[in-house]
Structure formats: structure tokens, C-alpha cells
Amino acid sequence: MSNKIPKETLVGLYETMLRIRMFEEKVVELYPAQEMKTPVHLYIGQEAIAAGVCLNLVKDDYLLSNHRGHGHCIAKGTDMGVMMAEFYGKAGGCSGGKGGSMHLVDPENSIPGNSAIVGGGIPMAVGAALASQIKGLKSVAVTFFGDGAVDEGVFHESMSFASLKKLPVVFVCENNLYATNSHITARHPTGDIAGSAGAYGVPGVCVDGNDPEAVYECSKEAVERARKGTGPSLIEARTYRWKGHVGPDADFEKGCRPEEELREWMEKCPVKRFRERLLTSGVMSAEEMDGLRSAVAEEVDKAVSFSDKSPWPDTAELTRGLYYEGGGK
Amino acid sequence: MPWTTVPKMERTPGVEPGSREITYREALNEALSQMLGIDERVFIMGEGVDDPGGVFGTTKGLPEKFGDARVFDTPLAENALTGIAMGAALAGMRPVLVHMRVDFLPISLDQIINHAAKWHYMFGGKVHVPMVIRAITGRGWGSAAQHSQSLQALFANIPGLKVVMPSTPYDAKGLLMAAVADGNPVIFLEHRWLYEAAGHVPEEPYLVPIGKGEIRRKGKDATIVGVSHMAREAVAAAELLANEGIDSEVIDLRAVRPMDSPLVIESVRKTGRLVVADTGWKLCGIGAELVARVAEEALGELKAPPLRINIPDVPTPSSPVLEEAYYPGKDDIAAGVRQLLGK
Ligand SMILES: Cc1ncc(C[n+]2csc(CCOP(=O)(O)OP(=O)(O)O)c2C)c(N)n1
């Protein structure tokens, strides 16, 4: 157990991971009823990354994420109720039912919207960082993306520009080895994503993405660098997704990957491992753990009932809201 | 999975008993397989073409049969891959580049619009770009604004491209083989809801001419033009109307560039009424172009103002209630025809 990280941060990391895990387990439970009519890209197995990165952020720091964005938004502080309602297509959803699970938004928390186009959010994070620099603010921008997004030209263009302008942006690549069902070896010549940062004069680190403390520490450094005006960083966090690319089932069932591989990674479950470490080091007691679990369960249930109670959008909403009508505000 | 579930479709009416019927997805698979077999310059690449799913089954079995040098998975690098396909085409190959959704094509627009579409003309006909870009128009299950678009009008606007949108298994096979054989950059747009549609498809290779529409039903009271999935809805609408004594002619456009407006104009000269049903948006859309061409050549023959059936002029919403309201279908087409007839 790291003694550099204060106790309340360790508890915060665990709590965040648990909130993500339990929220998504609820989605897995509810999904087969086929009432949540939106494709869900589950984050189970990757929780340590969102938690480790976002615990270094403040409300005014920007977050730009992707199709697999539930965990990122929860970690940044988005209310689970408006997320759940969005999944169900309700009027109370964060996007009013217009976006679905891939298009979460939370401007209050400096989340200006998730893109479902691979790589789509990366340049926007660079732009948010540019705005912060121009305005002379201390806000940092973080973007989460998968190893698949590193295939895209926009990743490289964005890294280059961010480095050129020394922008306060942290690139976080969640390398879960697959893009849909394509293994990284089918898409990348070396598999060394962190190493590509060097080409742009950006520091790149590769970290165990199932270890929340390791992620927390390296992103703390990256966020501090950004805040000081030293420029961008790239973090490659190696991890694994347990569920299918989309939906609540496992991929090996369709023959898309070896079951053995999933079993090995499940052994490295970030939530379970961290729980054990907190217990053995005495940071949290079993009772505290239980208390936390029931508090989160209650929060998740509230999110579901918020969604249940939320009305459907009025069909007149269909043609409303194409343009912003607030003028110069 | 619900988001990949494709609604079941009725068999093609009027097909002789005993003739072979296969689905749209099987027809595409067969076309690719036969092209790979016939022409050694053909190769297929795209994200997930070697998946167990095989791009809705359309590339299933091909990597095993033809090897991974000719059918292979790619990085997610749409623009570069378009240029790579184009380079291979310039160097004598016949690439087929596959995209799971048409929504990923905007990333490739530089290579498609500025390069592939221009090359033959810009170099005085010295070179040409024989490549096919297959892309799937999604729909349903809350896929929202970035996963359900119908971008045919965007491509139709660009000289140098051909844009094909088959609605039947027969056309899917014949048009795909024609696209590969064409010698020009062809954007081949498939609608996800058509994959399960079954129909007569000959076993031997054959070509369906690109740019020729097809009359699906003869009639005298009104002309309904359908594009892609809406061509099927148009046939269904005509059946509804027939029960009411309204006799409509249905034209399946099959390609939007070149656009078979002569066939439509000829039909309108006979019926005097035109409804265009497209899967895309109205403004500057396929219907706009057809109506304009009819107005240019046969304005005097129109007994009623033409009518267009489109999705509303907004991106696709996710919520099931909004999505339900978003897509027009056979009832909207039938209502349109009744309106033109004052019924
Ligand atoms: C530009 C683009 N190409 C293809 C897709 C289809 N697609 C959606 S997610 C995905 C895989 C993304 O993999 P990765 O970036 O590694 O993220 P992960 O899903 O593993 O979290 C693909 C190919 C897309 N949405 N956008």
C-alpha cells in the first residue's frame, strides 16, 4: 500500500470504483428486459482508470470521453439518475433522451459531451485545454480513449498540436487490447502506445490499469504538469474489458476471444484486489466496506427509480432543439 | 443482441416456385466470394471483416476461403485506409473497403471527395480508381445521431463517385459485382434492415447496371419512387393503396448517382403524380433532385404538386419514443399518395 496517498484518497478511489461497478452491474441486470433501448458499452474491469485519473480533477477540469463513457462520467461526479434515465430514453436523462448511453453530457461538471466516433473526443480535449490556456485559467482537460483510437490520425494530429502549444491536456489511453473484436496485434505494429508519445515530445508512461494507486499517482503527475503549464502527457493504462464490446454478455461466448484470457484478467479484478489491499493494510474495516456497499446500492436504486419516474420525452421534442437559440449568451 | 436484430422480411412475391431464394446478406456474401474467385485483383479490407460475425454475415467464411492476404482486418484509420485502397487501385488492384456504419465515412471524406472522385477526370483520363466502399446505414435501438445516418445525398453531390443503394437480394448481388467491376469509386450503401430480406438470386455471377432504376409495380394513378429500405416500404404502401382502388407505380431507384430520372419522368408522364420516399433528409436530398428534374422536363404533366417523404430535418434521437416518431414508413407513403389524389 502506498503511503504517499492519503487515507481519504484511498477510500475515495475505492468508493469511485465501487460506484462504477455497481452501477454497471445494475445495467447488466436490467438490460435483458429490453426496455433500455440503447447499445451499452460496459466498463466493468476498467474501473481503476477512471477512478485513478478523475480523483485528481476538480469540477472545472474538462473531461472528454468516448462510447465507453459511463465510468468516466461517474468518476467525474455525474449523477447516476440522469445517466440511467438517458439509457432508458427518458426526458429526465442528461441529454433529454436524445443521446442514449454513448452521448452522456454534464456541463456542470465540465463534461461537454461524449462522442461515439472513435477518436472524436481527443481533439476536443485539446481545444478545451487551448481555451483554458487562452483564458489564463488553471483548468486541465483530460480525454479517455481506447487503444483503437490510437489507430486514428486525429490522435496523432492532436498530440502534435497539444505538444506544440504546451497545452494542459492529459491523454489517457485505456488499452484493453481490443477494438471491438480486433486484437491490438491486428492493428498496431508494436503495441507500444506510450512509446508513441516520444515522437511528439510528450512524456508517455505505461501503467497497470487495474491498479488504482498506480493510475492515481501517474495521473497526478500528469495533471500537475498540465496545471503548471508544462504541457501534455500521455498515459497508457493496460487493462481488460470483461463484457462484450457492446452489451451485457461476454465476448468469448461468441468465439471472439479466449475464455482463458478473461479468467486471467478476472483474477486481476481491480475492485476485488483493491478491496483486499485496503482491508489487509487496515485503511478500511470490513464493516466500513459493508456500509459503503449498501450506501452505493441505495444510490444505484435511487438512480433506477429516478429513471422509472421520469416521463417519456414529448414527441414534439423530436424536431425541437436543432439550433441553439440563446443568441450571444 | 437487440441492436443487431434485423426484422424478418417476407419473401419476394411473384418468384417462381423452385427458384433459389437467399437473403440480402447471403447475396452480398456470394457476390464477394465470386468476385474474389473470378478476379485476383479483388481484395477486401475493413474493421472486423474477419470477425465471427463477419459484418452482419456478409464477409463470413471469406478469410478462410481466400486467405488473410485478400480478406483482412484493419486498424481504425478510415481516411488513411481510403487513400490506401485508392493507392492499391491505382496500382492495379480492385479493393473493397468495408465500414460497419456509414457514420464513419465522414472521416474519409478527404480521400473520397478530394482524391478518389477527382483522379480520373483531373488527370485527363490517364488513370482511374476502381474501388468499392461498402457502408451500412444503421437504424434502431437508440443508436442515435452518430450511428444511424443516411448520407447518400452527401455522396450523390460529388461528381466522380457512383452511389448505389440496393433494396433486394437480387440487386445486392448484381450491383455489388457491377460495382467491383466498374472501374470507378463506388459508394455502396446497405441498409441494416434489409439483411434478412429473402428473394430470388441466381447462383451464377451477373451484373445489374449501375444507374438504372427498376419498376417494382406497374400502375397508373401515381408514381412512388423509393430509395433503399424505402423502396420496400413503397411496395407495401402500393399494396395498401391497391385495396382502396388506387393503382400506384413503384420505382426502386437502386442508385442515386447516376440517378435514373428518365425512368421516373417517363412514369410521371403517365401517372401525373409523384411521391419520393427516401431514407435521408429532405433539404438538398434525393427527393429534391428528382422533383427538380421532373419539374424541368415534365412540369406540365403534373396533376398535383410532388411530395417528398423523408426523416425529419434533425439528427436521429435515441429515446424509443422519439425514434419511433422519427422514421416514416408505408403508412406515410400511402397517406402521401391519397393526398395527391385528394382522397
Ligand atoms: C471512426 C469510427 N470507426 C469505427 C467505429 C466503430 N467502433 C465503435 S467502438 C470501436 C472500437 C473502439 O476500440 P477502442 O478505441 O480500443 O475502445 P474500447 O471499445 O476498447 O474501449 C469501433 C471500431 C466508430 N465508432 N468510429
Q: What is the pLDDT of residue B128?
A: 96
Q: Closest ligand 1 atom, CA of A179?
A: 13
Residues in the ligand 1 pocket, defined by CB under 6 Å: A 67-68, 116-118, 145-149, 174, 176, 178-180, 245; B 47, 76, 78, 100, 104, 107
Q: What is the pLDDT of residue A209?
A: 98
Q: Residue B311 has which C-alpha cell? A: 426523416
**Separation CA B125–CA B122 (nearest Å):** 7
How far does the centroid of ligand 1 lie from the alpha carbon of residue A212, in Å? 24
- Reported confidence tier of residue A53, pLDDT bands at 50, 70, 90: very high
Mean pLDDT, range B206-235, rounded to an integer:
97
Q: What is the pLDDT of residue B213?
A: 97
The length of chain B in residues reads 343
Are B105 and B50 in contact, with CB atoms under 8 Å apart? no
Q: Closest ligand 1 atom, CA of B48?
A: 23
Mean pLDDT, range B37-58, rounded to an integer:
96
CB-CB under 8 Å, A319 with B314? yes
Considering only alpha carbons, which residue of chain A is nearest residue B146?
A: A116
Name the residue with the closest Cα to ligand 1, atom 18: A146
**How many other C-beta atoms can be found within 10 angstroms of the C-beta atom of residue B111?**
22
Q: CA nearest B148: which of B196, B195, B185, B193?
A: B193
The sheet that has A204-208: what strands, in order across it?
A: A62-64, A141-146, A169-175, A233-238, A204-208
Query: Best mutation site among B318, B323, B326 for testing chain A: the one with the most A CBs within 10 Å?
Result: B318
- Reported confidence tier of residue A2, pLDDT bands at 50, 70, 90: low
Q: Closest ligand 1 atom, CA of A176?
A: 20
**Separation CA A72–CA A20 (nearest Å):** 9
**How many other C-beta atoms can be found within 10 angstroms of the C-beta atom of residue B303?**
14
Q: Which of A151, A179, A322 sits opposite B314 (nearest CB)?
A: A322
- Report the percentage of chain B scoring pLDDT > 70: 95
Respond yes or no: is residue B115 known to be catalytic.
no
Are A72 and A144 in contact, with CB atoms under 8 Å apart? yes
Query: Best mutation site among B3, B64, B73, B76 for testing chain A: the one with the most A CBs within 10 Å?
Result: B76
Q: What is the pLDDT of residue B2?
A: 56
Name the residue with the closest Cα to ligand 1, atom 21: A146
Mean pLDDT, range B118-122, rounded to an integer:
96
Are B95 and B45 in contact, with CB atoms under 8 Å apart? yes
Mean pLDDT, range A213-237, rounded to an integer:
98
Considering only alpha carbons, which residue of chain B is nearest residue A256?
A: B52
Long-range contacts of B215-218 (CB under 8 A, 24+ apart): B215/B249, B215/B250, B215/B251, B215/B252, B215/B263, B215/B267, B216/B250, B216/B251, B216/B252, B217/B248, B217/B249, B217/B250, B218/B249
Here the ipTM equals 0.89
Does residue B161 have a pLDDT over 90?
yes
How far does the centroid of ligand 1 lie from the alpha carbon of residue A186, in Å? 14
Q: What is the pLDDT of residue A138?
A: 97
Respond yes or no: is residue B78 known to be catalytic.
yes
- Chain B: give the shortest CA distance to residue A31, in Å: 10
For B283-334, what is each residue's pLDDT tens digit?
999 999 999 999 999 999 999 999 999 999 999 999 999 999 999 999 999 9
How far does the centroid of ligand 1 lie from the alpha carbon of residue B62, in Å? 23
Q: What is the pLDDT of residue B15?
A: 57
Q: What is the pLDDT of residue B9?
A: 53
Q: CA nearest B135: which of B88, B92, B186?
A: B186
CB-CB under 8 Å, A188 with B322? no
Considering only alpha carbons, which residue of chain B is nearest residue A156?
A: B77
For A304-327, what is each residue's pLDDT tens digit?
999 999 999 999 999 999 999 988
Residue A324 CB-density burial (10 A; 0-12 exposed, 13-18 middle, 19+ buried): exposed
- Which residues lie closer than 8 Å to A144 by C-beta, 6 or more apart? A49, A50, A53, A63, A64, A65, A66, A69, A72, A121, A172, A174
Q: What rounded mean pLDDT belongs to chain A?
A: 96
Q: CA nearest B132: which of B173, B172, B165, B86?
A: B86
Does residue A122 have a pLDDT over 80?
yes
Q: What is the pLDDT of residue B14?
A: 52
B308 φ, ψ (degrees, to nearest 5)? -115, 135
Dihedral of the CA atoms A127, A130, A131, A137 (nearest 10)?
Answer: 140
For A248-294, what is each residue's pLDDT tens digit?
999 888 888 999 999 999 999 999 999 999 999 999 999 999 999 99
How far does the centroid of ligand 1 lie from the alpha carbon of residue B174, in Å? 31
Choose one of B76, B100, B111, B133 to mutate for the ligand 1 pocket test, by most ligand atoms within 8 angstroms of C-beta.
B76
Q: CA nearest B320: which of B143, B138, B191, B151?
A: B143
For A22-32, what is each residue's pLDDT tens digit?
999 999 999 99
Size of interface A-B (CB pairs under 8 A): 134
Q: What is the pLDDT of residue B140?
A: 86
Task: Indicate yes or no: pTM above 0.90.
Answer: yes
Task: Report CA B132 to chain centroid distance, whole Å.
Answer: 13
Q: What rounded mean pLDDT belongs to chain B?
A: 95
Name the residue with the closest Cα to ligand 1, atom 25: A117
Q: What is the pLDDT of residue A328?
A: 75
**Separation CA B235–CA B310 (nearest Å):** 16
